[in-house]
Amino acid sequence: MQATAFSPHDHTHCISSAITHAKGLCAERDVRLTPVRQRVLELIWQSHKPIGAYELLASLAKEGFNSAPPTVYRALDFLSEQGLLHKLESINAYVGCCNPDTPHQGHFLLCQVCHQAQELDSQYITLALKVSADQHGFEMHHHTIEVVGTCQECLNKANMSEAT
Ligand SMILES: [Zn+2]
Ligand SMILES: [Zn+2]
Ligand SMILES: [Zn+2]
């Protein structure tokens, strides 16, 4: 099995590599990762649990940033345009993207128990959808797939507590 958001891992590494990656991309594209944009990205990467805009606003306010909603929404728009995050429509929350170099659609596994999200390598899913959409002469613009279920870790925990 692949290393995932669900299995225990050194998450500080996820955060630092996401931020380093974002800085590199923004420099390459000649766009500015302002302090508030960077902080929003760090807050999103705080964990693999998708985070809502209100929670972000509250954290920024506590830290003394300009936390007016437009500031936060503009930062979210920027990060989304740069492919650094995905929005999960069903729960109205944001999650960091693991592969911001190449534009792609968001495909996620969402665990209903621990509420973490794992992004799926998506090219085959997109291709399968495109083939199906083509059959209807339909031009696809964007989509997000959110698969709700239970992760391996939570399944193991449930099995363990059943056994005792
Ligand atoms: Zn992590
Ligand atoms: Zn992604
Ligand atoms: Zn879980």
Render each residue's pLDDT in the chain as its tens digit; 164 residues. 566 899 999 999 999 999 999 999 999 999 999 999 999 999 999 999 999 999 999 999 999 887 788 889 999 999 999 999 999 998 999 999 988 998 899 999 999 999 999 999 778 899 999 999 999 999 999 899 999 999 999 999 988 888 76
As a dihedral over the C-alpha atoms of residue 68, residue 43, residue 107, residue 105, rounded to 10 degrees, the angle is: 60
Q: According to the model, what pLDDT value does residue 156 have? A: 93
139 Cβ contact partners less than 8 Å away, ≥ 6 residues apart: 133
Nearest ligand to the CA atom of 112: 3
pTM for the model stands at 0.90
Q: According to the model, what pLDDT value does residue 121 have? A: 79
Q: According to the model, what pLDDT value does residue 67 have? A: 72
Nearest ligand to the CA atom of 119: 2
Q: Give the residue from 89, 22, 96, 24 showing the smallest Cα distance to 56.
A: 96
Give the DSSP letter of residue 114.
T
> Ion ligand 1 — residues with CB under 5 Å?
11, 14
Q: According to the model, what pLDDT value does residue 160 have? A: 87
**Domain 11-163's class?**
mainly alpha
Task: Answer for the pair 57, 63: CB distance below 8 angstroms, yes or no.
Answer: no
- State which amino acid sits at residue 125: I
How far does residue 69's CA lie from ligand 1's centre (Å)? 27
Q: According to the model, what pLDDT value does residue 161 have? A: 85
